[in-house]
Amino acid sequence: MYKSERVPTDKKRLFFGLLCLCSMLLASVTGLAQETIVKGKITDASSGDPIPFVNVIYPGTTIGTTTDFDGNYTIRTSTPGDTLVASYIGYKPRKKAVGKGGTQIVNFQLGEDATQLQEIVINAGENPAYAILRNVMRNKSRNDKRRLTAYEYDTYTKVEIDVDNITDKFRERKIIKKITQVLDSVERMAGEDGKPILPLFISESVSKFYYRDNPQLRYENILKSKINGVGVDDGTLVTQLIGSSFQEYNFYQNWLNIVTKEFVSPIAEGWRLYYEYDLTDSVYIGDDYCYRLDFSPRSPQDLAFTGTIWITKEGYALKQIDVTVNKQANLNFVEKIKIQQELEPTAEGAWLPVKNRVLIDIGELTNTSAGMLAKFYTSNKNIVVNKPHEPAFYQHPIVMAEDARLHEDEESWDTLRHEPLSESEKNVYKMIDTLQNIPIVKTYIDLVKIFVNGYFDAGKVYIGPYIGFVAVNNIEGLRLQAGFKTSMDFSNKWVLRGQLGYGFRDERFKYAGSVQYIASRERWTTVSFRMRSDIGRVGVDDETLADNYIFLAAQRWGNYRRGYYFDEARFNFQRELFRGFTQRFAVKRLTFRPEFNFGYTQPEDVAGDTLSSFETSELVIESRFARDEMFIQDDNDRISLGALKWPIITLRYTRGFKGVMNSDFDYTKWRLSIFKRIKFGPLGVAYLNTTGEYTTGAAPYPLLTPHLGNQSPFYTIITYNLMDYGEFVSDRYASLQYQHHFEGFLFNRIPLMRKLKWRLVGSANVIYGGMSETNKKLIPQETSETPKYLPVRTFDRNKPYVELGYGIENIFRFVRVDFVHRLSYLDKTVNPNVRKFGVFVSFQFAL
């Protein structure tokens, strides 16, 4: 009986246990079946770029997430709503309907919010953001990558340039009508809510980047490069410009150089002077708990940012940053600059950027033109720190592997890229191929190349330069000239150049021909020989002014007050001995035949006979040191991008040998020049050029230093603008030429002027100089029996020549007006035409 009663009870318990277990399993399976997974990508409707750090949430709940650096998001929930909202500062929020259950793709394209940020109101007590920022300052030296002795990483760079803001008026232009079909396909490519863009250029590169401190050196080895662009044939020059070296921004610096302008960092030492801050959130980003701080500039016209930074609670390091420069800033042509960056800590504690995205939006120049978008993306992996190489390893800042431009197939590039291309980026390659095959586009490309390069590309030969094709002056009358130079297709070792001109008044041919041999590109080494027969102006040294080709071309025009014919032969050898240090050796032979009233006496000529022409033979030895100057190679030319931090120092020794190849004079010159770009933070930027020269021996004044005057109405930074041509000559002097660009420092703070975006500029030109008695005696004294020579004036030993100027630049974005005062040598009995004050105009293209 006992057993018969217990068996049913056990069966019941077993039955109920199984029933409960099945119910739980069923509930679990039902819960899994009801989970909703929503994935997607959020992009900018104007540029098509992904937007990181966007909040994506079911409204009225706490269910949501934030997009990663590439704009992707994923939300998993078992209690979904029927709507998702994407929102981020600077953009209009966007809602989209979503379903429940399963996996679905929901993409957003956000349009910019044109409304301005409201003022941040801080109640009684300290702004809580300030305590965080003070901790950022205390930990700056620990977190800044500049504390590392060295670092290196693999980097992938992607650059895209597009035409945007395509208006109806722009579509009506002749060339655009020819590519309407392409535009229509581009519009579809832009997405359901995106604006149409016309791609012009896309590139990808993979390189290895190295940096070391003490001395500060950097080296980028570009391993692979893929370029497709309208009008880009070879791509060698472009490849050097698209590497990560030009996409590096360190916000731990107080000032960042962007598009040649200095912007103040939101975590600069003087942060409270430039920005307003608001602590808006605390959130986990990966494993790091971060404070979110929103900020905006105190003055919208300043070169400062609006945006958001995420600061880690542990160590107060910069984890993420998203900043924008809007069109209210004192910039020309730039509608917007946007920089987004994600950083990770290294084994030594300092943080390095692992992903960067930069967007520069160039506005329309006219109502019938379109704008431009330039987009840059870099990704860094395999970071190694504090393992510096020997300084010789960093000999060249940028080196391109010989096979870098060899076209790899798509499968190979899929393994090289850090992230795959998006569908729109794949379409960009196709669109550019289509554009390049349209005949009218090819024609416009050729015209633009001639305008930019100054030469017409005829394959193995460049025809030009066009800027010197025609000129009119008082000696030659109408002058016509043609020329050429060979390209790399002709030879990557030999460069031939030639010019032939003819003056219709003097009925003379002028010519120039040269041959150059490039012995080494590794340590730039060249050997050249040149012969010329032409006219020149006393005081215009084409060797010193070689980089200012526009000024030299302009000297062909107008009145040659001290013009002369010359024949010249020159041999030149130069070599970069080590990074930044170049040695040059030259031999020159020159004949001088004046076309103005000029005379000189020989030093030993007791009778004092006056001569007018002469011959000279010179040896030139020059040393040039520019510690951090960057160069790129364009075809067979080497182009300097300037020095980053250190001055450029040049020491030149010149020796004239009497009796060598009929040379008439024996003299020695020493010249030292120093050029430096100086950053003054909120006070703008300055350019300082100082020169000193000392001459011994006897030589007529055209062989000394006739200081470069200016009698035109156009302001020139390399001249003394209130000095007449050839007014002063020295054989020993020290000079200073200083230009200070205050940017918007003053005018941005004047309410009625800030909208004009004018900028204050100041200048100073000073010379201490003189001439030895030996060389003064070579200048003939006028008598009733001698011709009236053009006057030659020298400086008093203790009296400097001084010009001070002030002006306004950026008038109508292109015009600069300078007001210059001459403060010395004002005696009208000596110079009846002396100018004490002058107003000069110039035209410049500056951001």
Give the model confidence (pLDDT) of 74-91 as tens digits: 998 888 888 899 988 888
Of residues 48 and 40, the one with the higher pLDDT is 40
Residue-range domain boundaries for the chain: 1-29, 36-110, 128-445, 455-632+649-658, 666-847
Distance of alpha carbon 787 from its chain centroid, rounded? 53
Mean pLDDT of 632-659: 87
Give 652's pLDDT tier (boundaries 50, 70, 90).
very high
Residue 324 pLDDT greater than 80, yes or no? yes
Give 51's pLDDT tier (boundaries 50, 70, 90).
confident
The packing angle between helices 439-453 and 423-436, to 10°, is: 90
Residue 719 pLDDT greater than 80, yes or no? yes
Neighbouring residues of 402: CB distance < 8 A, sequence distance ≥ 6: none
Copy the structure tokens of residue 60: 């009225």
Class of domain 36-110 (CATH, top level): mainly beta
When mean pLDDT is compared across 139-148, 198-207, 786-795, the lowest value belongs to 786-795
Hey, is 662 helix, strand or coil?
Answer: helix
Copy the structure tokens of residue 745: 């420092």
pTM to 2 decimal places: 0.78
Tell me how far apart the alpha carbons of residues 353 and 381 are, in angstroms, rounded to a whole number. Answer: 10
What radius of gyration do the chain's Cα atoms show?
A: 34
Residue 287 confidence (pLDDT) = 86
DSSP 17: H
Residue 399 confidence (pLDDT) = 82
Residue 90 confidence (pLDDT) = 80
Whether residue 55 contacts residue 64, with contact meaning beta carbons closer than 8 Å, is answered with: yes
Residue 239 confidence (pLDDT) = 59
Residue 605 confidence (pLDDT) = 59
Mean pLDDT of 110-119: 63
Give the pLDDT confidence of 222-233 residue by residue, as tens digits.
888 888 877 666
Copy the structure tokens of residue 27: 């509930």
Spell out the alpha helix ranges (H) of 757-833: 773-776
Give 312's pLDDT tier (boundaries 50, 70, 90).
very high
Cα torsion 724, 725, 730, 733 to 10°: value is: 70
Neighbouring residues of 54: CB distance < 8 A, sequence distance ≥ 6: 42, 66, 67, 71, 73, 86, 87, 88, 91, 108, 110
CA neighbor of 822 nearest in space, from 803, 838, 809: 803
Copy the structure tokens of residue 89: 């500062």
Residue 28 pLDDT greater than 50, yes or no? no
Residue 169 pLDDT greater than 90, yes or no? no
Distance of alpha carbon 516 from its chain centroid, rounded? 29
Mean pLDDT of 769-778: 90
**Per-residue CA distances from 521 to 572, 622, 703 (Å):** 17, 20, 34
When mean pLDDT is compared across 158-172, 369-383, 609-623, the lowest value belongs to 158-172
- Name the one residue in this structure whose structure tokens are 């215009």: 540
Out of 30-39, 548-557, 601-610, 742-751, give the one with best mean pLDDT: 742-751
Mean pLDDT of 502-513: 95
Tell me how far apart the alpha carbons of residues 779 and 731 are, in angstroms, rounded to a whole number. Answer: 13
Copy the structure tokens of residue 475: 């000696």
Residue 800 pLDDT greater than 90, yes or no? yes
What single letter denotes the amino acid at residue 569? A
Hey, is 251 helix, strand or coil?
Answer: coil
Mean pLDDT of 354-381: 82
When mean pLDDT is compared across 280-284, 454-458, 680-684, the lowest value belongs to 454-458
Residue 303 pLDDT greater than 80, yes or no? yes
Residue 365 confidence (pLDDT) = 67
- Name the one residue in this structure whose structure tokens are 């013009």: 563
Residue 320 pLDDT greater than 90, yes or no? yes
CA neighbor of 328 nearest in space, from 750, 680, 756: 756
Tell me how far apart the alpha carbons of residues 413 and 289 are, in angstroms, rounded to a whole number. Answer: 36
φ, ψ of residue 801 to 5 degrees: the values are -90, 130
CA neighbor of 218 nearest in space, from 406, 339, 396, 5: 396
Mean pLDDT of 27-38: 62
* Enclosing H/E stretch for 497: strand 494-503
Give 174's pLDDT tier (boundaries 50, 70, 90).
low
Copy the structure tokens of residue 711: 């009698």
What single letter denotes the amino acid at residue 750? I
- Name the one residue in this structure whose structure tokens are 């934030």: 66
The packing angle between helices 423-436 and 180-189, to 10°, is: 170
User: What is the per-residue DSSP string for 46-62?
Assistant: TT--B-TT-EEE-TTSS
Tell me how far apart the alpha carbons of residues 93 and 84 are, in angstroms, rounded to a whole number. Answer: 10
Of residues 710 and 721, the one with the higher pLDDT is 721
Pairing of strands 494-503, 477-486: antiparallel
Residue 31 confidence (pLDDT) = 46
Does 682 sit behind a cis peptide bond, omega within 30 degrees of 0 on the bond before it? no
Residue 7 confidence (pLDDT) = 43
Tell me how far apart the alpha carbons of residues 435 and 439 are, in angstroms, rounded to a whole number. Answer: 9
In the predicted model, what is the mean pLDDT of the chain? 84
Cα torsion 89, 92, 98, 102 to 10°: value is: -40
Out of 443-447, 793-797, 798-802, 810-814, give the one with best mean pLDDT: 798-802
Give the pLDDT confidence of 395-453 residue by residue, as tens digits.
888 888 877 776 667 788 888 888 888 777 887 887 777 777 666 666 666 666 666 56
When mean pLDDT is compared across 632-641, 644-653, 697-706, the lowest value belongs to 632-641
Mean pLDDT of 107-116: 76
Give 177's pLDDT tier (boundaries 50, 70, 90).
low
* Enclosing H/E stretch for 431: helix 423-436
Residue 178 pLDDT greater than 70, yes or no? no
Give the pLDDT confidence of 551-576 residue by residue, as tens digits.
777 778 888 888 899 999 999 999 99
Q: Count of CB atoms within 10 A of residue 791's CB?
A: 12
Residue 32 confidence (pLDDT) = 47
Residue 427 confidence (pLDDT) = 78
Out of 182-196, 297-311, 728-742, 745-759, give the one with best mean pLDDT: 728-742
Residue 242 confidence (pLDDT) = 58
Whether residue 789 contacts residue 597, with contact meaning beta carbons closer than 8 Å, is answered with: yes
Out of 68-82, 141-155, 253-267, 357-371, give the one with best mean pLDDT: 141-155
Give the pLDDT confidence of 667-702 residue by residue, as tens digits.
999 999 999 999 888 888 999 999 999 999 999 999
